[in-house]
Amino acid sequence: MRACAIIAEYNPFHNGHAWHIQQAREHSQADVMIAVMSGNFTQRGDLAILNKWNRAKLALSHGVDMVVELPTVEAVQSADFFAENAVRIAHKLQCQFISCGVESGTSQAFQEIAEALMNLPEKDFTQSYHTQVLMYLSQLFPTEMATLISTPNNQLALSYMKAIIKHDYSMQLLPIIRTSAQHYDTQVESNSCFASGTAIRQKVLSHEDYISVVPELSYRTLQNHAVQLKTAYDKYWVILQTIIMSKSLEELRCVYQMVEGIEYRLKKCVYHAESYEHFVELVMNKRWKRARVQRLCLYIVLNIQSQERQDSVRVLAINNVGTRYMKQLKHVDFITQFKKNHDEKWHRQISCDKIYQTLCEQSEQNFRWIERDANEKV
């Protein structure tokens, strides 16, 4: 069976995602579509607006055959590490294609840039990594090629290609040009059926209309199960504030990615911040962009001290096609339901999910059956 992977967050699942799944299946001629999806926390260190089970079920209802989880510690990473972790899982699942939504560019263009970046000179710690990359590429390629990675989706596509090349995986990148709505657009255009996840989340939280830009099932799920993020982040801020105030500098240095003396800045800013958002803005500087600060804050709250990789693959949702494919992969250790003996091996993931459940007032998630297509016989 030919398999195509989509690395996704579906935060939340919208019309653009449904269209991408359809296009990816059509262009790859895949027999099985697999989503490698981040769990309850996103790559940028945010709380997901719907829990991972709801998002997995929506993906299954709109053309995906199997949804597997990119564990929290592997998902809450910079673009390159996020991509490398997700591509590793797709490779383990023997996917021949990885499809991603982009604003522009071809697979060949991303490959040329990725190969060039393998020779990127040593880091200049006075500038952000992204700035260094743009400067380096501008010296090697025409302007239109060098600026290809100026958008978030294109940056992720490049990271996927770099991971494929680095590990010599036998898979192809399949970029699909987005129809409209840039990644961080905050407006929902009138008479449009497409909008960014950012814009939709804002509409959900402000109780404005967004029914035209998400599938009907996604709309109903958001209406019934969307996390009250304002309340959740108020709780989150109290926890973060308490930890930073109570821990010594030496203890803070044990946190994953606590580098460059940022612990001193955290200690200083925590006493002046009025909210989590305000705290992030106070900590940010030229080297520490918003997403990097948010990820560090999440590492603190989740008590993450190192990057851990799981050998097993956690299945969140599956239909009959996915089940048939899963049975072919006899070398893969799939987990379809947590049992008590998984506590030790998966304790970090279970702990992360319990914190999400507490912040977002969710019920126990981990010791339950995976989502299956309600219209299929199991």
Domain ranges across the chain: 229-302
Structure tokens at 50: 């719907």
Q: Report the chain's mean pLDDT, rounded to a whole number.
A: 91
Q: What pLDDT is attached to residue 377?
A: 42
Q: Specify whether the CB–CB gap between 243 and 270 falls below 8 A.
A: no
According to DSSP, the residues that pair with 32 across neighbouring strands are 3
17 SS3 class: helix
Residue 120's pLDDT band, with cuts at 50, 70 and 90, is: confident
Q: Exposed, middle or buried by CB within 10 Å (0-12, 13-18, 19+), for 50?
A: buried
35 SS3 class: strand
- Give tens-digit pLDDT for 293-351: 999 999 999 999 998 888 999 999 999 999 999 999 999 999 988 877 766 778 899 99
Length of the chain: 378
Q: What pLDDT is attached to residue 132?
A: 77
Residue 203's pLDDT band, with cuts at 50, 70 and 90, is: very high
CA 205 – CA 91 distance, rounded (Å): 37
Query: What are the percentages of helix, strand and coil residues in the chain, rounded to 5?
Result: 50, 10, 40
Q: What pLDDT is attached to residue 182?
A: 54
Q: What pLDDT is attached to residue 378?
A: 34
- Give tens-digit pLDDT for 123-174: 665 666 777 777 787 788 877 676 687 888 999 999 999 999 999 999 999 9
Q: What pLDDT is attached to residue 139?
A: 81
139 SS3 class: helix
Residue 6's pLDDT band, with cuts at 50, 70 and 90, is: very high
Which amino acid does the sequence have at 346? W
Q: What pLDDT is attached to residue 184?
A: 55
Instruction: Give the pairing type, strands 371-372 and 313-318.
Output: parallel
Mean predicted confidence (pLDDT) in 208-227: 96
Q: Specify whether the CB–CB gap between 6 and 35 falls below 8 A.
A: yes
Q: Which DSSP helix (H) or strand (E) runs through 102?
A: strand 97-102
Report helix angle 229-246 to 197-205, nearest 10. 100
* pTM for the whole structure: 0.93
70 SS3 class: strand
Contacts of 87 (CB under 8 A, 6+ apart): 7, 98, 160, 163, 164, 167, 169, 171
